[in-house]
Amino acid sequence: MNLACCVWAIEGSDNTILARAAALGFEWIDVRPFAFSSEGARQEIREQGLSVSCIAASFGMPEDARLSSPERDARFGAATYLDRTLAYGAALGASAAYVVPDEDPSSLDRYAAELKSVADRGGEMGVRVCVEHFPGSALPTAAGTIAFLREVGHPNLFLLLDIGHAQMSEENPASIISDAGPLLGYVHLDDNDGSRDLHLGLTDGILTEAALADCIAALRDIAYRGNLSLELHPGLPDPLDALGKSREIALRAMHE
């Protein structure tokens, strides 16, 4: 397991963001689609000693594009967008990608059908496709997302566990990890007050170091081979300080 950070918490030009992530001690980063498209950005990633771990593939999807839409053109638009973002992530070296579910639970059958094709394309590119449980979406809980993935049964569809979201849905992250087993494809680390999606630094909300240690132990028990990533909010009073402190807390738990 390696520890990454979602670099959208860091402000600045491409080169500044990469330099700041490296200065904090990170060797792995998560990116959003087309975020590092400036000239020389890919070389700068390498020169800073960074590797791309994961891409937030559905971020920035056009408003009229939805995998679960009853309209064929909207589904095609979503699939086309994800094909582009998966390819972009693969070109940067990402081994994982994730999508956020659409909002209508009655459309999950259409969503599942389209998601299979997306997973096929990800597999061809060597990218694991993960689905993030997201409060307020058609898949608001981690347990429900696991059940959905088991029903879909695609070999390249996995769960992205966000421990902050699990706190909001009153689920035990360590238990979710154990239940997911080989379906667990990626992990986001963040904190909140249990009701709002705040993406605070670790232990700045209701998360305790003991609970985080339980998560790491559960990951070891299932022989998890993916990465963990800190996903903090860019609007925090001092995102760089929060990332630095959260990195120390996470590494302490990972190395106990």
Q: Is the pLDDT score of 245 beyond 80? A: yes
Q: In the prediction, which pLDDT does 57 show?
A: 99
65 located within any domain: no
**Beta carbons of 119 and 129 less than 8 angstroms apart:** yes
Q: List, for residues 11-62, the tens digit of each pLDDT value.
A: 999 999 999 999 999 999 999 999 998 888 999 999 999 999 999 999 999 9
| pTM score | 0.96
Q: Has residue 232 got a pLDDT over 90?
A: yes
Count of the separate structural domains present in the chain: 1
d(CA 224, CA 73) in angstroms, rounded, equals 38
Other CB atoms within 10 Å distance of the CB of residue 223: 8
Domain membership of residue 191 (yes or no) is yes
Which residues form the domain of 22?
3-56+82-254
* pLDDT surpassing 80 at residue 229: yes
**Residue 193, domain member (yes or no):** yes
Report yes or no: 204 and 191 within 8 Å, Cβ to Cβ.
yes
Task: Tell me what pLDDT residue 35 has.
Answer: 93
Q: Is 240 part of a structural domain of the chain?
A: yes
Backbone angles phi, psi at 21, to 5 degrees: -65, -45
The tokens describing 145, both together, are 């997302």
- Say what the pLDDT of residue 39 is: 83
β-pairing, 128-132 vs 51-56, is unpaired
Q: Which two tokens stand for residue 218?
A: 């559960």
Residue 238 in any domain: the answer is: yes
How does pLDDT run across 151-184, given as a tens digit for each residue? 999 999 999 999 999 999 999 999 999 999 999 9
Domain containing residue 205: CATH number: 3.20.20.150
66 found inside a domain: no
Cβ neighbors of 241 (< 8 A, separation 6 or more) are: none
